[in-house]
Amino acid sequence: MDSSWFLLFIIMAMIPSECSEEARCHVCDVESFNLLEGEAFHFEPKCLLRGAQVTWYKNDSRMEQISMDKNESVHFHDPSLFFLNLSSKNSGLYTARYQGASKCRNISLKITVFENRTDEALLYGKIKNSDVNKKVKCPEAVKYTCTKLGGNFTWMKDFELLPGYTDANLWIDNATKNDKGIYTCVCTWTYNRKEYRSSGSRRLIYEKQIIHLGPVFIAPTDSEQFADEALPVKLNCSVLCGTNAEPHCKASWNIDQTSGHSQTTEMVTDSQSGNTISTAVLSIEKVTAKDFQTDFKCIGEGYYKIFNRTVTLKRRGSIIPLVVRGLCVLSVCVLGALVVKCFSIDLVLFFRPYFPPKNQNKDGKVYDAYVVFQMQSMSVATEDTLCRFITNAMPSVLEKKCGYKLFIHGRDDLPGEDSVELVEDRIKKSRRLMVILPLDSEPGSDDTEPQISAGGSFAWQMGLHHVLVQRDMGVILIQLGHVGPGGYSNLSPGLQHLIRRSAPLRWSEGSRDASTRNSRFWKRVRYLMPAAPAQRCPASAVI
């Protein structure tokens, strides 16, 4: 009897001691992992006890102790637990107890094995930010295994190998929409002379880059805007708030809604640049005198600050004075052009004495013009008209009134001189070749070549040579009377060529200004003559 009571006392004393020891053990948090079938997994508890003894169990329908044999598919090697070839039967709860000299800890591990690698449950979270350069971290469990067991890193995107990436972190520079997807960090490690593989995946979600600015005013650019009283006007307020800054961008006008003013707002984000611009348009139905004294405030609201810009209306000046000034300027220009066109010859003749040519009278010429005229096959009336022009009208105006010096055969040649030498010498010493065209030869005449008085056809040929070939003298064509029915067809080809280059000047004997220096005909002749006479006559000699 005494021995029974003693045994019962010993048992009762032991039960509270064991319960008390179990209560003193620290229970670590349960760690859960979703793993892919066929891969390997290495687990080392975070809450370790230095020098503690550990034993792993699988809590299934019954408590099953895990082997320590390295050849087993699932075994533990103090303090790590290894799964070398995961299968669905490895799913479950695993526990371990770390027992030290004075402390103990209870570890719990939950394993779930999936057959399909695209299952969302296998992902270690998502990467979602608006950074330009995105960083994809290798999941901690895979990274720790690779570091602990000396494995090698590789990366896959959407389960396709990315060559050249061998670090624990994958950087994507200047990420775009094409970079989104599932990124898998793969660790290949060797254990017990065999190669195994562990992996972990993350999903990268692309988000637009967001940059917040001031905001920056685009409009209005000026502090004043022109307007007309009693007419409508619109004021534009636009602000740039940054890149993809839609929720934090607003432009508006600070107005009184009851005064006939209204505003419309719009916010746009450019698809290419991503710039977010908000615009507010203030519409004034009818500008009043009060509006010209009002300050209109354009308000721009961004993510960080609020700015405003003031605009005032300014009366637009009348356009009538501007139109009048424009018409006046146009009229002056048109009048000036007409004056120049109609009086160009008069203007040139007026300014010649004040702006003499630089090389006047330095060309060695003696005569201002060599006169060529026709004497054969003429009617009596035409011959009389030609003689009056040659001997009276032309010398009285050009020589006596204008100071020019002309060479005329029969008047200026000396008796006994050689005709050929005389013509050649006088033409070389003349500045102009003046051709007189009477153009009314008698009917039936076969002579179509103009002749030179007292000099023959040689003078005419010599003059054409200097005008057309050497080009060292100008030509003046003077027509006496009207052109006949045949026109200029009876003239030589050389003379017709000169007429096409410069139309003849027509002299009418019956005109009252025929011998007047300032008549239109003689002004045109003087315009074609040299600017200054070859030998300047005394001022008293020029009338």
Q: What is the pTM (predicted TM-score) of this model?
A: 0.45
Architecture in CATH for domain 120-206? Sandwich (2.60)
- With beta carbons less than 8 A apart as the criterion, state whether 463 and 450 touch: no
Terminal Cα distance for the chain, rounded = 181
Question: 476 to each of 341, 432, 467, how far by Cα in Å?
Answer: 21, 7, 11
Task: Please compute the mean of the pLDDT values over residues 417-437 and round it to a whole number.
Answer: 80
Q: In the CATH scheme, what is the code of domain 22-114?
A: 2.60.40.10
* CATH-assigned architecture of domain 363-541: 3-Layer(aba) Sandwich (3.40)
* Candidate CATH numbers 3.40.50.300, 3.30.2130.10, 2.60.40.10, 2.102.10.10; the one for domain 215-315: 2.60.40.10
What is the domain partition of the chain in residue ranges?
Answer: 22-114, 120-206, 215-315, 319-351, 363-541
Domains 22-114 and 120-206 share a fold: yes
Neighbour tally for 310: CB within 10 Å: 12
268 has pLDDT over 80:
yes
State whether residue 53 is helix, strand or coil. Answer: strand
More confident residue, 22 or 532: 532
Q: What percent of the chain has pLDDT over 90?
A: 27
Spatial distance between the Cα atoms of 98 and 26, rounded to a whole number of angstroms: 10
In the predicted model, is pLDDT for residue 8 greater than 60?
A: no
Closest-CA residue to 507 (of 542, 532, 482) = 482
What integer pLDDT is reported at residue 30 of this predicted model? 85
222 DSSP 8-state letter: S
Two structure tokens written together for 466: 């200097």
Q: Specify whether the CB–CB gap between 202 and 180 falls below 8 A.
A: no
pLDDT tens digits, residue range 80-106? Answer: 899 999 999 999 999 987 776 667 778
Give the pLDDT of residue 444: 40
Q: How far apart are CA 274 and CA 527, in angstroms?
A: 73
pLDDT of 160-207, one tens digit each?
999 999 999 999 888 888 889 999 999 999 999 999 999 999 999 887
